[in-house]
A and B are shown apart, each in its own frame.
Chain A
Amino acid sequence: MSMTLIEHIEVGSGGAASISFVSVGDIPSDYTDLLVVLSGRSTAGANVDGIRIALNGSTSNLTHRRLIGGGSGSGGSASGTNGEIGLISAANNTANTFGNCQIYIPNYRSTSAKSISADSVSENNSTEAYQGIYAMLWNPASNVPITSITLDMLGGNLVQYSSATLYGITAGSDGTTTVS
Protein backbone atom coordinates (compact mmCIF):
# COMPACT_ATOMS: atom_id res chain seq x y z
CA MET A 1 0.00 0.00 0.00
CA SER A 2 1.51 3.33 -1.06
CA MET A 3 -0.49 5.65 1.21
CA THR A 4 -0.06 4.96 4.91
CA LEU A 5 -1.64 6.65 7.90
CA ILE A 6 1.10 7.98 10.17
CA GLU A 7 -0.62 10.16 12.78
CA HIS A 8 -3.99 11.73 13.54
CA ILE A 9 -4.39 14.65 15.94
CA GLU A 10 -7.72 16.00 17.18
CA VAL A 11 -8.10 19.25 19.11
CA GLY A 12 -9.69 18.75 22.51
CA SER A 13 -11.81 20.86 24.82
CA GLY A 14 -10.78 24.50 24.93
CA GLY A 15 -9.29 24.50 21.45
CA ALA A 16 -5.63 24.84 20.55
CA ALA A 17 -3.26 27.39 19.13
CA SER A 18 -1.78 24.88 16.71
CA ILE A 19 -1.46 21.28 15.60
CA SER A 20 2.03 19.85 15.31
CA PHE A 21 3.50 16.72 13.83
CA VAL A 22 6.80 16.82 15.69
CA SER A 23 8.21 13.41 14.92
CA VAL A 24 8.31 13.59 11.13
CA GLY A 25 12.03 13.03 11.25
CA ASP A 26 11.45 9.86 13.25
CA ILE A 27 9.00 8.19 10.90
CA PRO A 28 10.25 5.37 8.67
CA SER A 29 12.44 6.71 5.90
CA ASP A 30 10.78 4.65 3.20
CA TYR A 31 8.14 7.32 2.51
CA THR A 32 8.66 9.57 -0.48
CA ASP A 33 6.03 12.24 0.01
CA LEU A 34 3.80 13.53 2.80
CA LEU A 35 0.11 14.40 2.74
CA VAL A 36 -1.58 16.43 5.48
CA VAL A 37 -5.35 16.69 5.62
CA LEU A 38 -6.82 19.31 7.98
CA SER A 39 -10.41 19.82 9.07
CA GLY A 40 -10.61 23.03 11.04
CA ARG A 41 -12.46 26.05 12.28
CA SER A 42 -10.85 29.20 13.62
CA THR A 43 -11.91 31.45 16.51
CA ALA A 44 -11.07 34.55 14.46
CA GLY A 45 -13.99 37.00 14.22
CA ALA A 46 -14.32 36.72 10.45
CA ASN A 47 -15.76 34.48 7.74
CA VAL A 48 -12.38 33.02 6.92
CA ASP A 49 -8.95 32.64 8.48
CA GLY A 50 -5.60 31.78 6.94
CA ILE A 51 -3.77 28.57 7.77
CA ARG A 52 -0.07 29.03 8.42
CA ILE A 53 2.50 26.27 8.11
CA ALA A 54 5.83 26.08 9.86
CA LEU A 55 8.46 23.59 8.76
CA ASN A 56 11.08 22.43 11.23
CA GLY A 57 9.75 25.10 13.59
CA SER A 58 10.25 27.99 11.19
CA THR A 59 8.00 30.17 9.08
CA SER A 60 11.00 31.77 7.39
CA ASN A 61 12.05 31.24 3.80
CA LEU A 62 8.49 30.34 2.79
CA THR A 63 7.09 32.00 -0.33
CA HIS A 64 3.63 31.36 -1.70
CA ARG A 65 1.30 32.20 -4.53
CA ARG A 66 -2.43 31.67 -4.23
CA LEU A 67 -5.54 31.74 -6.39
CA ILE A 68 -8.78 32.16 -4.46
CA GLY A 69 -12.47 32.61 -5.15
CA GLY A 70 -14.87 34.17 -2.64
CA GLY A 71 -18.28 33.10 -3.93
CA SER A 72 -19.46 36.62 -4.62
CA GLY A 73 -17.12 37.74 -7.34
CA SER A 74 -14.30 38.48 -4.94
CA GLY A 75 -10.97 36.72 -5.03
CA GLY A 76 -7.97 36.79 -7.27
CA SER A 77 -4.30 35.96 -7.06
CA ALA A 78 -1.71 37.15 -4.58
CA SER A 79 1.69 36.19 -3.23
CA GLY A 80 3.38 36.43 0.15
CA THR A 81 5.99 35.24 2.58
CA ASN A 82 4.00 34.78 5.80
CA GLY A 83 3.66 31.00 5.57
CA GLU A 84 0.00 31.06 4.50
CA ILE A 85 -0.90 27.67 2.97
CA GLY A 86 -4.72 27.71 2.97
CA LEU A 87 -8.06 29.10 4.20
CA ILE A 88 -10.66 27.65 6.57
CA SER A 89 -13.92 28.64 8.17
CA ALA A 90 -13.88 31.10 11.07
CA ALA A 91 -16.20 32.28 13.84
CA ASN A 92 -18.62 34.27 11.66
CA ASN A 93 -19.40 31.25 9.46
CA THR A 94 -22.39 28.97 9.93
CA ALA A 95 -22.18 27.27 13.30
CA ASN A 96 -20.57 23.82 13.48
CA THR A 97 -19.19 24.25 9.98
CA PHE A 98 -15.55 23.40 9.39
CA GLY A 99 -13.29 24.13 6.45
CA ASN A 100 -10.66 21.76 5.18
CA CYS A 101 -7.25 21.80 3.59
CA GLN A 102 -5.08 19.22 1.87
CA ILE A 103 -1.32 19.81 1.74
CA TYR A 104 0.98 17.68 -0.44
CA ILE A 105 4.74 17.73 0.15
CA PRO A 106 6.80 15.70 -2.33
CA ASN A 107 10.31 14.52 -1.53
CA TYR A 108 10.15 15.81 2.03
CA ARG A 109 13.46 14.10 2.89
CA SER A 110 15.45 15.72 0.11
CA THR A 111 18.15 18.34 0.60
CA SER A 112 16.72 20.51 -2.16
CA ALA A 113 14.19 23.33 -1.98
CA LYS A 114 10.73 21.95 -1.14
CA SER A 115 7.76 22.65 -3.40
CA ILE A 116 4.38 22.34 -1.65
CA SER A 117 0.86 22.26 -3.08
CA ALA A 118 -2.35 22.91 -1.12
CA ASP A 119 -6.08 23.04 -1.77
CA SER A 120 -8.49 24.46 0.80
CA VAL A 121 -12.04 25.62 1.34
CA SER A 122 -13.96 27.52 4.02
CA GLU A 123 -17.47 26.13 4.18
CA ASN A 124 -20.33 28.50 4.94
CA ASN A 125 -24.10 28.35 4.46
CA SER A 126 -24.00 31.77 2.90
CA THR A 127 -22.59 33.53 -0.15
CA GLU A 128 -19.21 34.30 1.37
CA ALA A 129 -17.26 31.04 1.26
CA TYR A 130 -13.74 30.75 -0.06
CA GLN A 131 -11.86 28.21 -2.10
CA GLY A 132 -8.13 28.56 -2.50
CA ILE A 133 -5.27 26.80 -4.22
CA TYR A 134 -1.71 27.48 -3.12
CA ALA A 135 1.83 26.94 -4.32
CA MET A 136 4.59 27.27 -1.75
CA LEU A 137 8.36 27.04 -1.84
CA TRP A 138 10.52 26.40 1.22
CA ASN A 139 14.05 27.40 0.29
CA PRO A 140 16.24 28.18 3.30
CA ALA A 141 19.95 28.88 2.89
CA SER A 142 20.65 25.28 3.86
CA ASN A 143 18.04 22.84 2.53
CA VAL A 144 17.39 19.97 4.92
CA PRO A 145 14.78 17.22 5.29
CA ILE A 146 11.48 18.16 6.90
CA THR A 147 11.36 16.84 10.46
CA SER A 148 8.30 18.64 11.84
CA ILE A 149 5.15 20.29 10.52
CA THR A 150 3.07 22.79 12.50
CA LEU A 151 -0.24 24.30 11.44
CA ASP A 152 -1.77 27.33 13.14
CA MET A 153 -4.09 30.19 12.24
CA LEU A 154 -3.11 33.67 11.16
CA GLY A 155 -5.99 35.30 13.04
CA GLY A 156 -7.21 33.01 15.83
CA ASN A 157 -7.01 29.54 17.36
CA LEU A 158 -8.35 26.18 16.28
CA VAL A 159 -11.62 25.15 17.91
CA GLN A 160 -12.37 21.82 19.55
CA TYR A 161 -12.91 18.95 17.05
CA SER A 162 -10.52 20.45 14.53
CA SER A 163 -8.21 17.66 13.37
CA ALA A 164 -5.25 16.93 11.15
CA THR A 165 -4.02 13.65 9.69
CA LEU A 166 -0.56 12.90 8.34
CA TYR A 167 -0.05 10.28 5.63
CA GLY A 168 3.11 8.93 4.08
CA ILE A 169 3.18 8.10 0.37
CA THR A 170 5.74 5.73 -1.08
CA ALA A 171 6.75 5.77 -4.72
CA GLY A 172 7.85 2.55 -6.31
CA SER A 173 7.33 0.06 -9.09
CA ASP A 174 4.85 -2.75 -9.79
CA GLY A 175 7.43 -4.59 -11.89
CA THR A 176 5.44 -4.08 -15.09
CA THR A 177 5.09 -0.35 -15.69
CA THR A 178 8.26 1.34 -16.91
CA VAL A 179 9.45 4.93 -17.16
CA SER A 180 12.24 6.18 -19.39
Chain B
Amino acid sequence: MPTVYSPPVSTYVALATTTLASTTTELTFSNIPSSYRDLIIVANFRMSGVASATRAQFNGDTTSGNYPTVWMVGTGSTAVSSTDGGTSMRIFGQNAGPKTVGQMGIVQIMDYSATDKHKTVLVRYSGADNDITAQAGRWASTNAITTIRLFDSGGQSYQIGDTFSLYGIEA
Protein backbone atom coordinates (compact mmCIF):
# COMPACT_ATOMS: atom_id res chain seq x y z
CA MET B 1 0.00 0.00 0.00
CA PRO B 2 1.66 3.29 -1.08
CA THR B 3 1.98 6.08 1.43
CA VAL B 4 0.41 9.38 0.46
CA TYR B 5 1.54 12.43 2.37
CA SER B 6 -1.13 15.07 2.82
CA PRO B 7 -0.05 17.79 3.13
CA PRO B 8 3.14 17.09 1.14
CA VAL B 9 6.33 16.59 3.17
CA SER B 10 9.26 18.88 2.57
CA THR B 11 12.23 16.99 1.16
CA TYR B 12 15.78 17.93 0.17
CA VAL B 13 16.34 19.58 3.55
CA ALA B 14 19.45 21.68 4.14
CA LEU B 15 21.38 20.25 7.10
CA ALA B 16 24.72 22.06 7.10
CA THR B 17 26.86 24.19 4.85
CA THR B 18 30.19 25.92 4.98
CA THR B 19 32.04 28.45 2.86
CA LEU B 20 35.69 28.21 3.80
CA ALA B 21 37.13 31.34 5.37
CA SER B 22 40.59 29.80 5.49
CA THR B 23 42.36 26.95 3.74
CA THR B 24 42.00 23.50 5.24
CA THR B 25 43.08 19.97 4.46
CA GLU B 26 39.87 18.42 5.76
CA LEU B 27 36.39 19.03 7.10
CA THR B 28 33.82 16.93 8.93
CA PHE B 29 30.02 16.92 9.02
CA SER B 30 28.97 15.90 12.53
CA ASN B 31 25.80 15.33 14.54
CA ILE B 32 23.94 14.16 11.43
CA PRO B 33 20.38 13.34 12.50
CA SER B 34 18.95 9.93 11.67
CA SER B 35 15.57 11.26 10.60
CA TYR B 36 16.08 11.22 6.83
CA ARG B 37 16.31 8.49 4.21
CA ASP B 38 19.31 9.57 2.14
CA LEU B 39 22.03 12.19 2.28
CA ILE B 40 23.45 14.36 -0.49
CA ILE B 41 26.73 16.25 -0.33
CA VAL B 42 27.40 19.01 -2.86
CA ALA B 43 30.98 20.25 -3.01
CA ASN B 44 32.32 23.11 -5.13
CA PHE B 45 36.04 23.46 -4.55
CA ARG B 46 39.62 23.89 -5.74
CA MET B 47 42.86 22.42 -4.47
CA SER B 48 46.18 24.05 -3.66
CA GLY B 49 48.00 22.12 -6.32
CA VAL B 50 48.48 18.73 -7.89
CA ALA B 51 46.35 16.57 -5.69
CA SER B 52 45.57 12.90 -5.28
CA ALA B 53 41.90 12.64 -4.48
CA THR B 54 39.30 13.69 -1.97
CA ARG B 55 38.40 10.78 0.25
CA ALA B 56 35.55 10.17 2.71
CA GLN B 57 35.38 8.36 6.01
CA PHE B 58 32.22 7.57 7.92
CA ASN B 59 31.93 7.64 11.72
CA GLY B 60 35.71 7.68 12.00
CA ASP B 61 35.92 4.17 10.61
CA THR B 62 39.47 3.45 9.42
CA THR B 63 39.01 -0.28 8.95
CA SER B 64 40.93 -1.42 5.89
CA GLY B 65 38.65 -2.96 3.29
CA ASN B 66 35.49 -1.26 4.51
CA TYR B 67 35.30 1.11 1.51
CA PRO B 68 35.21 -0.87 -1.77
CA THR B 69 34.64 1.37 -4.80
CA VAL B 70 34.32 1.05 -8.58
CA TRP B 71 34.50 3.96 -10.95
CA MET B 72 34.67 5.02 -14.58
CA VAL B 73 36.78 8.01 -15.54
CA GLY B 74 36.98 10.20 -18.63
CA THR B 75 40.08 12.33 -18.95
CA GLY B 76 38.98 14.16 -22.08
CA SER B 77 40.87 11.71 -24.26
CA THR B 78 40.71 8.31 -22.61
CA ALA B 79 38.10 6.30 -20.71
CA VAL B 80 39.15 4.06 -17.83
CA SER B 81 37.45 1.97 -15.19
CA SER B 82 39.02 0.82 -11.98
CA THR B 83 38.48 -0.10 -8.35
CA ASP B 84 39.76 1.08 -5.01
CA GLY B 85 39.59 0.09 -1.36
CA GLY B 86 41.45 0.86 1.80
CA THR B 87 40.71 2.77 4.97
CA SER B 88 38.59 5.44 3.28
CA MET B 89 36.47 5.93 0.16
CA ARG B 90 38.02 7.74 -2.79
CA ILE B 91 35.33 10.12 -4.10
CA PHE B 92 36.51 13.20 -5.99
CA GLY B 93 39.20 13.18 -8.67
CA GLN B 94 40.59 9.83 -9.66
CA ASN B 95 43.54 11.25 -11.55
CA ALA B 96 46.41 13.04 -9.86
CA GLY B 97 46.41 16.30 -11.74
CA PRO B 98 45.66 20.00 -11.50
CA LYS B 99 42.49 20.86 -9.66
CA THR B 100 43.17 24.53 -9.15
CA VAL B 101 40.03 25.77 -10.94
CA GLY B 102 36.45 24.99 -10.07
CA GLN B 103 35.65 21.38 -9.34
CA MET B 104 32.36 19.99 -8.19
CA GLY B 105 31.19 16.75 -6.75
CA ILE B 106 27.84 15.29 -5.74
CA VAL B 107 27.70 12.37 -3.30
CA GLN B 108 24.48 10.44 -2.67
CA ILE B 109 24.40 8.14 0.35
CA MET B 110 21.42 5.81 0.32
CA ASP B 111 19.68 4.65 3.52
CA TYR B 112 22.43 6.27 5.59
CA SER B 113 20.52 5.85 8.85
CA ALA B 114 19.58 2.21 8.33
CA THR B 115 21.03 -0.28 10.82
CA ASP B 116 20.31 -3.40 8.79
CA LYS B 117 22.41 -2.83 5.69
CA HIS B 118 25.72 -1.62 4.36
CA LYS B 119 25.62 1.89 2.90
CA THR B 120 25.60 2.45 -0.87
CA VAL B 121 27.27 5.60 -2.13
CA LEU B 122 26.94 7.08 -5.63
CA VAL B 123 29.32 9.83 -6.70
CA ARG B 124 29.53 12.18 -9.66
CA TYR B 125 32.67 14.25 -9.89
CA SER B 126 33.18 16.95 -12.51
CA GLY B 127 36.60 18.50 -12.94
CA ALA B 128 36.68 20.33 -16.23
CA ASP B 129 40.46 20.69 -16.07
CA ASN B 130 41.17 17.16 -14.94
CA ASP B 131 38.66 14.35 -15.23
CA ILE B 132 35.03 13.39 -14.96
CA THR B 133 33.88 10.34 -13.01
CA ALA B 134 30.87 8.27 -12.07
CA GLN B 135 31.37 5.98 -9.13
CA ALA B 136 29.67 3.49 -6.85
CA GLY B 137 30.96 2.60 -3.42
CA ARG B 138 29.94 0.78 -0.27
CA TRP B 139 30.65 1.40 3.38
CA ALA B 140 30.73 -2.07 4.87
CA SER B 141 28.97 -1.21 8.11
CA THR B 142 25.41 -1.50 9.40
CA ASN B 143 25.88 1.52 11.67
CA ALA B 144 23.89 4.66 10.94
CA ILE B 145 26.12 7.42 9.60
CA THR B 146 26.53 10.27 12.06
CA THR B 147 29.77 11.86 10.83
CA ILE B 148 31.36 12.29 7.40
CA ARG B 149 34.99 13.33 7.13
CA LEU B 150 36.29 14.68 3.80
CA PHE B 151 40.02 15.07 3.20
CA ASP B 152 42.62 14.99 0.46
CA SER B 153 44.86 11.98 0.55
CA GLY B 154 47.77 13.98 -0.84
CA GLY B 155 47.61 16.58 1.91
CA GLN B 156 46.51 19.34 -0.46
CA SER B 157 44.31 22.14 0.87
CA TYR B 158 40.83 23.25 -0.04
CA GLN B 159 40.73 26.96 -0.76
CA ILE B 160 39.07 30.06 0.69
CA GLY B 161 35.59 30.36 -0.79
CA ASP B 162 35.12 26.62 -1.41
CA THR B 163 31.66 25.39 -0.39
CA PHE B 164 30.49 22.09 1.05
CA SER B 165 26.78 21.48 1.73
CA LEU B 166 24.85 18.56 3.21
CA TYR B 167 21.17 17.81 2.51
CA GLY B 168 18.78 15.24 3.94
CA ILE B 169 16.27 13.54 1.66
CA GLU B 170 12.87 12.51 3.00
CA ALA B 171 11.22 9.36 1.67
B-contacting residues of A (Cβ < 8 Å)? 1-3, 32-33, 63-67, 75-79, 104, 106-107, 110, 112-119, 133-137, 139, 169-174, 176-180
A-B residue pairs in contact (CB < 8 Å), sample of 29: A1-B10, A3-B11, A33-B42, A63-B129, A65-B132, A67-B134, A77-B76, A77-B132, A104-B42, A114-B102, A115-B103, A115-B126, A116-B128, A117-B124, A118-B126, A135-B131, A136-B126, A136-B128, A170-B14, A171-B17, A176-B31, A176-B33, A177-B166, A178-B16, A179-B16, A179-B164, A179-B166, A180-B27, A180-B28
> Which A residues are in CB contact (< 8 Å) with B73?
67, 77
Docked-complex contact A65 and B76, CB < 8 angstroms: yes
Docked-complex contact A139 and B101, CB < 8 angstroms: yes
Q: By CB atoms of chain B within 10 A, which of A79, A115, A118 has the most?
A: A115
A-contacting residues of B (Cβ < 8 Å)? 10-18, 27-33, 42, 44, 72-79, 101-104, 106, 124-129, 131-134, 161, 163-168
Docked-complex contact B17 and A173, CB < 8 angstroms: yes
Task: Tell me whether A179 and B29 are in contact in the complex, defined as CB-CB below 8 angstroms, given that A32-B165, A65-B132, A67-B134 are known contacts.
Answer: yes
Docked-complex contact A2 and B14, CB < 8 angstroms: yes
Q: By CB atoms of chain A within 10 A, which of B31, B44, B126 has the most?
A: B126
Q: Shortest beta-carbon distance, A107 to chain B, in Å? A: 5
Query: Complex Cα distance A170/B61, Å?
Result: 30
For B30, give its contact among A33, A115, A135, A177 (CB under 8 Å).
A177
For B12, give its contact among A113, A117, A169, A173 (CB under 8 Å).
A169
Docked-complex contact B132 and A135, CB < 8 angstroms: yes
For A173, give its contact among B15, B27, B128 (CB under 8 Å).
B15
Docked-complex contact A67 and B101, CB < 8 angstroms: no
> Which A residues are in CB contact (< 8 Å) with B13?
1-2, 174
For A65, give its contact among B16, B101, B131, B165 (CB under 8 Å).
B131
Q: Besides the contacts A1-B12, A78-B74, A134-B126, what 9 more A-B pairs have beta carbons closer than 8 Å?
A: A64-B128, A66-B132, A75-B79, A106-B104, A115-B104, A173-B16, A174-B15, A174-B16, A179-B17
Docked-complex contact A177 and B74, CB < 8 angstroms: no
Q: Shortest beta-carbon distance, B110 to chain A, in Å? A: 17
Task: Tell me whether A2 and B12 are in contact in the complex, defined as CB-CB below 8 angstroms, given that A106-B104, A115-B103, A177-B32 are known contacts.
Answer: yes
Docked-complex contact A65 and B28, CB < 8 angstroms: no
Q: Shortest beta-carbon distance, A9 to chain B, in Å? A: 22
> Which A residues are in CB contact (< 8 Å) with B11?
1, 3
For B27, give its contact among A79, A170, A179 (CB under 8 Å).
A179
> Which B residues are in CB contact (< 8 Å) with A104?
42, 104, 106
For A77, give its contact among B12, B29, B32, B78 (CB under 8 Å).
B78
Docked-complex contact A133 and B74, CB < 8 angstroms: yes
> Which A residues are in CB contact (< 8 Å) with B103?
115
Docked-complex contact B102 and A177, CB < 8 angstroms: no
Query: Complex Cα distance A2/B31, Å?
Result: 20
Query: Complex Cα distance A2/B75, Å?
Result: 33
Query: Complex Cα distance A106/B126, Å?
Result: 12
